[in-house]
Amino acid sequence: MKFELHFDKDIYNSQMDLLFDLAWKDKIAYYKNSQYFGILLAFIGIAMIYNRPNVFGIGYVFVFFGLSNLISFVYYYFKIRSFYKRMENVKVKEINDFHYVKYMNLEFTENALIATSGDHFNLIQWSEFMDYIVKENNLILITKDYEPLILSEIEVGSENFEEIISFVKAKFEGRVKNS
């Protein structure tokens, strides 16, 4: 199966946002909730220390665990924010690069996935893919180097997208049976 994909900035941005959510959404939710728990523990600990400073040091334990939750929240807040800024810079660079190359050929063969755009040629053997995910009408193929290749239903059409998904699913099932 061979497809010619035309670059669309809006589709690309939505695909990159989807990849960001897959990577960080659960961690963001977890640490957002842990900050509230940390503040609550620290507040209870400070109240216990203030009212009764020598009750087996329990107030200090609450303050310690509260601050450890808050420190992890602050660490991941800045880490995720930094990653998002870098991702935005990469998105802008990619959009500028694809401004000149308007299309990309994607070919699904029995042995490999072949992607060509302009002067660039990329051949990825099926054994190099670790997993695939179908999410929000997007097919995400993940290589062993954790490099995602994402294909949207809008880019190839509904019938072709279903055909691609069944082809990829057969490739992964065949690989599991052969192992």
pLDDT for position 7: 78
In whole angstroms, how far apart are CA 115 and each of 53, 81, 111, 112, 139?
A: 67, 31, 13, 10, 15
Range of weakest confidence among 68-72, 77-81, 94-98, 138-142: 94-98
Indicate the residue type of 14.
S
pLDDT for position 175: 65
pLDDT-based confidence at residue 40 (cuts at 50, 70, 90) = very high
- Residue 14, pLDDT > 80, answer yes
pLDDT-based confidence at residue 127 (cuts at 50, 70, 90) = confident
pTM for this prediction:
0.71
Quote the mean pLDDT of the chain. Answer: 83
In whole angstroms, how far apart are CA 22 and each of 25, 134, 136, 147?
A: 6, 12, 11, 13
- Residue 176, pLDDT > 60, answer no
**Residue 47: which residues within 8 A CB-CB, separation 6 or more?**
59
Span 42-52, average pLDDT:
85
Do 129 and 140 contact (CB within 8 A), yes or no?
A: no
